[in-house]
Amino acid sequence: MINLSLLSSLTNNLQNINPKDLPKIMRFVSIDVLKDLGSGKFLIDIEGKQQQALSKKPLQENATYFAKYLTNKDPNKPALLSKLIKLPNMIHNKTFFKEYTFDTKEILHALKNPKELQQQLLEKLANAPTKEHFSQLSPLLLSLHHQVFTFPFVFYEHLGIFQLKKRYNKKSKKTTLEFYALLENLGAISGVVFENKVELHVVYEEIKDFLEQHEKELPITLYVSIVESIEPLFDTTPTNQLLDIKT
C-alpha cells in the first residue's frame, strides 16, 4: 500500500522551498535558444539579454532550458552551458497555471479517484476558451490515459509540474509510487515513494546538498542520489492526438 502521507509531506516541502534561498547555492539560469550557430555554439536569451553560449548537448531552437551556467575564463569566448533540462511549453503559461493548478490536497484526492480527474479534464477541454488552453490541457488527459498523473502547480509564484505513476511489484506484492517534479528554480527531480522512505534523484550536486539540509524538516527518510539526466514520466509536449483516447 502506498504511503500517501509521505507523498503529502514531500509535495508540501517542495512547494514551501523559498526561491530566495536558492541563489545562495545555485548558479543556474533559464535560457531561451534563439538560433543554432553550429559547432556547439548557440545564440541564447537570458532575462532579455542575448548572448552566445557553448553546449556539448544539441539544443532545439525556440526551446527553453534550465541550465548550469559557467562564465568562460576568457572574456572573449562564450559562456559554457551544462546539465541542461528542457522545459515544457506549458510551464511558461502563467494564465493557464492560475486556472488549472493543483494543490497537495487535490493531488492526493485525484490519486484515489482517477476517473473523477479524467471527467474533470474532459469537461475543461470541452469548455476550453481558446485553442491555447485546449493544447495545454490535452497533454494532461493524454498523460492520464497512459497511467501517469500530471499536475501543474505553483510555488512562490513560480511554476512547476508534478507527475506520478503507480507501480506494482508482483514479486514483493507491493505498490510504489514513481514521481517526477520539474520546478522553475530547482530543475528536475525524480524518485520513488516507498512505504517508509523516499528515494530522490537529482542532476545537480548543489540541489542534493540543499535537499539534505532540509531533510530535518520532513517526517520521512530521504535518500538522495545524483544522476546524469532526468526524463519526465510522460512527455507533455502536445504532439499526440486526443483521437486515440477511449473513454
Report percent pLDDT > 90 for the chain. 19
Give pLDDT tens digits for 112-151: 888 999 998 999 889 888 888 888 888 888 999 899 999 8
Q: What per-residue confidence (pLDDT) applies to 55?
A: 93
Q: What per-residue confidence (pLDDT) applies to 36?
A: 95
Per-residue pLDDT, averaged over 51-65, amounts to 90
Looking at CATH, the fold of the domain delimited by 26-87 is given as: OB fold (Dihydrolipoamide Acetyltransferase, E2P) (2.40.50)
pTM over 0.85: no
- Supply the mean pLDDT for the chain: 79
pLDDT at 246 over 50: no
Least confident range from 48-52, 55-59, 158-162, 237-241: namely 237-241
pLDDT band for position 51 (cuts 50, 70, 90): very high
C-alpha 181/C-alpha 104 separation (Å) is 13
Side-chain half-sphere exposure of 46, counting CA atoms within 13 A: 15
Backbone φ/ψ region at 139: left (φ over 0), alpha (ψ -120 to 50), beta: alpha
Q: What per-residue confidence (pLDDT) applies to 59?
A: 92
Q: Domain ranges in the chain?
A: 4-23+89-244, 26-87
